Structure 1
Amino acid sequence: MTSDAKSFKSKIQTLVGKSVKKTFPGMEVPFIKIENPEDIKHGDYSVNIAMQIVKEIHLPPTEIAKKIVENLPKNTFTEKVEIAGPGFINFFISRKSLDAEVKKILKEGEEYGSSKTGKGKTIVLDYSSPNIAKPLGVHHLLSTIIGQSLYNIFKKIGFNCVSVNHIGDWGTQFGKLISAYKKWGNKEVVEKNPIDELLKLYVKFHDEAGKDPSLEDEARVEFKKFEEGDEENHKLWEWFVAESMKEINKTYDLLGGIHFDYVHGESFYEDKIGPVLEEGKEKGVFEIGEEGAFVIKFEDPNIPTVPVQKKDGTTLYITRDFATFKYRMERWNPAKILYVVDVSQKMHFIQLFEGVRRMGWEADRGEHVWFGRMSMKDGKMSTRTGNVILLNEVISEAFNRARRVIEEKTPDLKDKERVAGAVGIGAVKYNILCQNRTTDIVFDWDKMLSLEGNSAPYLQYSYARAKSILRKAEGGGEAGAGGGAGESTGKDSGANTSESQKNTLFIEPLKDSENAAEKIDSLIRFFPRFGEQITASASSFQPNILANYLYELAQKFNSFYNGVPVLRAGSEKVREERLRVVRAFAQILKNGLALLGVAVSEEM
């Protein structure tokens, strides 16, 4: 069930907006910016509206803030509002509301964090986009992981999401591959290792063509025959595509959680290109350039002229992208089409969207969600292909390294292979998603697989810790301090505790635990931000916002774990309340990691 309830952030925006209208009639209310103070002592949410409107009101910001606070509508979810610094308005969520939030988390379970923000809207996401007969590289890894995470995030907030894998299955290179296969290919050899063997044939063709240029002419003939419907060449092409996709899908299966609603090759759009070319020529967007080719010329001198149709009638990659854009607009009428493609394609999309704008096709619906390149911490990674880092090699390395860590840390762990997969693949995914996608992504194996710091294993271990407490609570097993504050037994009768401790709420100070209330308060006050961070990640196309929230959440939980008794709390009531907090934390962390495509394990 998707929650219809507004977030606290949204409620505060509404309160402040109403107050500003009442306090300063006739003034247009600007967008109300809300932030979370770093220290919860300064509140859960902070509004700087007084500084935003100071030029219009001509009063000191503190005076503006006071007037706004005086006119705030009454509500049931805040316990106090304070004015701080030069005019910040700080809101403190009531403990009753926080307790209700914990109950909501436990009630909604996997649905917690969902919303109907995108109801009635469609998002098309184009990601991964491998080429037939070529191995997946790390740039495919980045596109696949970032794209799938954004798909999950947008779906969580109510958008109808359409994921498309745009396969590179067309072009003159297939003439070369067909020619090479006919000369040197072996069906049985290719079927055993499709992509590697097809790539070898392609490379051999280029090597031989360097010695005998006439091979290039032969390849053009083979591709022309293919385009004209030659049965033999068409069957070969279909076979190349099918065998390649088998291998590519195996890689997706290893990554886990990768989903595509549609797999459309470039070939899918071949019969849609003709009408696009006609429209572009009629509208004057595609004009004859030098040497008789049709091109798009741009007024901006920084955007180079781009060809869309060669003199001989051959179309290009960007031509198919025009057809693709139009098809997607007509098929799904999306609010946005997200192209999750690396930074090297920036100019391509600038040219595409400007061309689309001139065609009158609502170019603002297209968005290039670009990401930086991947670099290894030590500047290199040993591969079978020299400088190219292959995706399968990264996956294999992740499994092996995670397996070694598990053997070293927990040799008696059950189901080590499954956990190694969750930890290794999770480490790779999270390492990509916790970094700002617009920077170069640094690959540091030691950091990625560390049980400390901002890593998937740290979050997975935090989840396992929480589940360990809950298992012990159910079975009466041994436990440490919160598990970790020095306890050694499970259920506690509450004997030898003072009456005040028995009646203590889970967010009030306890005599037997220094700073317990502060640690609990800090953790619980962080819970409601989960949905807000999901929305923030969606609006900026930045999964790292959610990832870093989960890291901070796990830090707060581990502080709680190490300093707050749970299984040996002062009374049964306090114990049960704290177990609810642990359950709520585990649920949020699991939900958040699922959006990032990172699996959790009950034990580590």
Structure 2
Amino acid sequence: MYKSSAADLLAKALNKPAEETIKQIERPKQLQHGDYAFPCFALAKEKRQSPQTIAAELAAELSHEAFSAITAVGGYVNFTLDKKLAGSRVLKDIHQQRAAYGSTAIGKGQTVAIDLSSPNIAKPFSMGHLRSTVIGNSISLLLEKQGYGVVRINHVGDWGTQFGKLICAYEKWGEEEKVRANTIPELLKLYVRFHEEAAQDEQLEQEGRDWFRKLEQGDAYANKLWSWFRDVSMEEFGRVYELMGVHFDSDAGEAFYNDKMERVVEELEQKELLSLSEGAQVVRLDEYDLPPSLIKKKDGATLYATRDLAAAIYRKETYQFSKSLYVVGHEQRLHFQQLKIVLNKMGYDWAEGINHIPFGMVLQDGKKMSTRKGKLVLLDKVLEQAIQLAATNIAEKNPNLPDKEEVARQVGVGAVLFHDLKHERIHDIEFSLEDMLRVEGETGPYVQYTHARACTLLAKGSEFAGSSEVDEETGAAAWPILSLLLQFPDTVGNAAINYDPSRIAKYVIDLAQAFNSYYGKVRILEEDDKLGARVAVVEAVASVLEEGLRLLGIRAPRQM
């Protein structure tokens, strides 16, 4: 709102479109330099004047009731908001809108399909799948806040040669009783053993391929084992998702598209897009300087590309999406480039709405975690440890806390999720249980504790809540907070546009730090004529922290 006011003033003075000037407006790094800054360096060549002269002339010409000062500093025009006016307005907006503060209708009437999580069945839910799950879930929440309808799809890996290998391993070394008693860990042992043995015996790889071919051809025994592995895996995944508060609208995995791929192959043939390459059927992408997209192997087996083409077409026909997002690691960048281009070559203009949202890996000792080698950190074990640590802290510091178990769950899970989401998604993360479970510093529990502190203050001063008029003194003392509250809608919008939940994580840390600094300097509940304004500040902080955490998929306990 105020940024638009500054842009309109500048546009009128410079005779330029407001859409152009608003893109150039920045936020000064230090509050004492104002709330918005307009750099004049790009205008120097056009006007044949120094940036300093342009800034000085603009500052002398501009005025608006929302700004207490418009000044020139170096080559910038700095806009300083009227703290009383802007502070009162933002507190009123938050009090009236509550959780809706920061929402828009930008995506109204549009649907986004989002492919996230997608673990492989018959394998444990490892830390490696945490990133896709929590980043995808947070992006879904951000898009919903922008008014989009979101369809969350868990495209589980329930097909492929690895299942032939697993069936082969089960047949050779599996014991039904042991597997039924402890299914996922036992299946993982068998999978790891297969690759260890195959390194010494090349024939094993062929046996694995033979079992997968039986599965593809509908062999009853192979299908029975596959169904068992899938059912048990989905049950286990469901337990972890429930713990994290993540839900899906579809869990149609790779196998769901088995009867939908032939249509894709036929269409590619009809449109003369298929070529033979060493016996395999491919779509050539030479004009894009990319390797060909493999559609069918020499033996007629389909590949990821075939399946993802079928899935993309099915999702468009089923959900009529305006955007289709794939929250998948950055190592799959080429695959999604090829997918989009092949769909375009097939004549599907809606393929422009397909976007790969890449992210970095969770590393252990600087290396990628590997299922084949059994080098995994299990997500449910990490969550359990985090919850147990939170429960221990509560028992020591607040043994009489109501709903201790539920609060411990919210804090423990929140610690793990926040540790991931505070990093820019494209960066790799080194797995460290110690860092993840810390409760001080830039952590989820720190933000949750700040929210609980604000709620405790509100409970004591509840009769004064609702007053949003800010006096000069309160406005000045609370300005670091009020300034951040004003930024929340823009932060949400930018996080949604860039598919970057880390912007929300950084924001709630900044707001929590600003509030704790204020709490340390100001006697908030002191009974004087400014009490109502101070309580309104606390109320706004509690509301925005809760909503910020919600957008990260994290709960905000009212007591800790």
Q: TM-score, normalization: structure 1?
A: 0.83
The structure-2 alpha-carbon separation of the partners of 1:270 and 1:36, relative to structure 1 and needing over 3 Å to count, comes to same
Q: 1:57 aligns to what?
A: 47
Distance 2:103 2:470 in 1: 27
Residue 220 of structure 1 and its aligned partner are, at CA, apart by 4.5
Which amino acid letter does the alignment assign opposite residue 377 of structure 2? I
Q: 1:309 aligns with which of 278, 289, 296?
A: 296
Matches of residues 146-185 of structure 1 in structure 2 within 5 Å?
146-181=135-170
Residue 161 of structure 1 and its aligned partner are, at CA, apart by 1.2
What SS does the corresponding residue of 2:391 show, helix, strand or coil? helix
Distance 1:353 1:562 in 2: 54
Which amino acid letter does the alignment assign opposite residue 462 of structure 1? T
Q: 1:398 aligns with which of 386, 389, 405?
A: 386
Which amino acid letter does the alignment assign opposite residue 46 of structure 2? E
The alignment of Structure 1 onto Structure 2 pairs a total of residues equal to 555
Distance 1:205 1:376 in 2: 23
Q: 2:32 aligns to what?
A: 41
8 Å CA contact retained: 1:273, 1:319: yes
Distance 2:353 2:396 in 1: 50
Residue 380 of structure 1 and its aligned partner are, at CA, apart by 11
Q: After alignment, is 542-551 or 33-42 more displaced? A: 33-42
Q: 1:9 aligns with which of 3, 18, 24?
A: 3
Distance 2:195 2:423 in 1: 38
Residue 121 of structure 1 and its aligned partner are, at CA, apart by 2.4
Q: 2:242 aligns to what?
A: 253
Q: 2:537 aligns to what?
A: 581
Distance 1:379 1:171 in 2: 25
Unaligned runs of 5+ in 2: none
1:468 paired with 2:456, answer yes
8 Å CA contact retained: 2:114, 2:326: yes
Distance 1:203 1:523 in 2: 53
Q: 2:358 aligns to what?
A: 370
What SS does the corresponding residue of 2:118 show, helix, strand or coil? coil
Q: 1:109 aligns to what?
A: 98
Which amino acid letter does the alignment assign opposite residue 480 of structure 2? S
1:198 paired with 2:187, answer yes
What SS does the corresponding residue of 2:472 show, helix, strand or coil? coil
Q: 2:265 aligns to what?
A: 277
Residue 465 of structure 1 and its aligned partner are, at CA, apart by 1.0
Which amino acid letter does the alignment assign opposite residue 118 of structure 1? G
Q: 2:333 aligns to what?
A: 346
Residue 155 of structure 1 and its aligned partner are, at CA, apart by 0.6
8 Å CA contact retained: 2:83, 2:472: no
Residue 548 of structure 1 and its aligned partner are, at CA, apart by 0.7
Distance 2:3 2:22 in 1: 13
The structure-2 alpha-carbon separation of the partners of 1:387 and 1:174, relative to structure 1 and needing over 3 Å to count, comes to closer
The structure-2 alpha-carbon separation of the partners of 1:63 and 1:123, relative to structure 1 and needing over 3 Å to count, comes to farther
Q: 2:551 aligns with which of 595, 598, 601?
A: 595
Distance 1:527 1:329 in 2: 38
What SS does the corresponding residue of 1:166 show, helix, strand or coil? coil
What SS does the corresponding residue of 2:251 show, helix, strand or coil? strand
Residue 587 of structure 1 and its aligned partner are, at CA, apart by 0.2
8 Å CA contact retained: 1:110, 1:587: yes
What SS does the corresponding residue of 1:264 show, helix, strand or coil? coil
Which amino acid letter does the alignment assign opposite residue 432 of structure 1? D
8 Å CA contact retained: 1:157, 1:535: yes
Distance 2:12 2:312 in 1: 42
Residue 104 of structure 1 and its aligned partner are, at CA, apart by 1.4
Q: 1:508 aligns with which of 452, 465, 472?
A: 472
1:388 paired with 2:379, answer no
8 Å CA contact retained: 2:156, 2:253: yes
1:323 paired with 2:317, answer no
Distance 1:372 1:584 in 2: 34
Residue 294 of structure 1 and its aligned partner are, at CA, apart by 1.0
Distance 1:29 1:603 in 2: 46
8 Å CA contact retained: 1:83, 1:90: no
Q: 2:280 aligns with which of 269, 275, 293?
A: 293
Q: 2:429 aligns to what?
A: 441
Residue 267 of structure 1 and its aligned partner are, at CA, apart by 1.4
Residue 411 of structure 1 and its aligned partner are, at CA, apart by 4.3
The structure-2 alpha-carbon separation of the partners of 1:359 and 1:88, relative to structure 1 and needing over 3 Å to count, comes to farther
The structure-2 alpha-carbon separation of the partners of 1:350 and 1:241, relative to structure 1 and needing over 3 Å to count, comes to same
Distance 1:24 1:596 in 2: 38
The structure-2 alpha-carbon separation of the partners of 1:76 and 1:125, relative to structure 1 and needing over 3 Å to count, comes to farther
Residue 68 of structure 1 and its aligned partner are, at CA, apart by 5.2
- Cα shift readout 1:25-74 (whole Å, capped 9, x = no counterpart): 9x9946622222222222222223x33344333333345446656776x8
Residue 152 of structure 1 and its aligned partner are, at CA, apart by 0.6
Residue 458 of structure 1 and its aligned partner are, at CA, apart by 1.0
The structure-2 alpha-carbon separation of the partners of 1:538 and 1:44, relative to structure 1 and needing over 3 Å to count, comes to same
8 Å CA contact retained: 1:127, 1:341: yes
1:541 paired with 2:499, answer yes
Which amino acid letter does the alignment assign opposite residue 298 of structure 1? L
Which amino acid letter does the alignment assign opposite residue 383 of structure 2? I
Q: 1:484 aligns to what?
A: none
Distance 1:56 1:194 in 2: 71
Which amino acid letter does the alignment assign opposite residue 590 of structure 1? E
Matches of residues 132-151 of structure 1 in structure 2 within 5 Å?
132-151=121-140
Unaligned runs of 5+ in 1: 1-6, 476-490, 492-503, 510-515
The structure-2 alpha-carbon separation of the partners of 1:269 and 1:540, relative to structure 1 and needing over 3 Å to count, comes to same
8 Å CA contact retained: 1:297, 1:305: yes
Q: 2:484 aligns to what?
A: 526
Residue 394 of structure 1 and its aligned partner are, at CA, apart by 1.7
Distance 1:86 1:54 in 2: 10
Residue 328 of structure 1 and its aligned partner are, at CA, apart by 2.4
Distance 2:252 2:336 in 1: 19
The structure-2 alpha-carbon separation of the partners of 1:517 and 1:530, relative to structure 1 and needing over 3 Å to count, comes to closer
- Let me know the Cα RMSD of the aligned residues: 3.2
8 Å CA contact retained: 1:65, 1:83: yes
Distance 1:424 1:208 in 2: 39
8 Å CA contact retained: 1:451, 1:461: no
Q: After alignment, is 160-169 or 352-361 more displaced? A: 352-361
Q: TM-score, normalization: structure 2?
A: 0.89
- Cα shift readout 1:228-262 (whole Å, capped 9, x = no counterpart): 3344443433332111100111111122x202111
Q: After alignment, is 87-96 or 588-597 more displaced? A: 87-96
What SS does the corresponding residue of 2:155 show, helix, strand or coil? strand
Distance 1:199 1:379 in 2: 20
Richer in helix (by share): 2
8 Å CA contact retained: 2:83, 2:476: no
Q: Between the two proteins, what is the percent identity of the paired residues? A: 40
8 Å CA contact retained: 2:362, 2:368: no
8 Å CA contact retained: 1:138, 1:389: yes
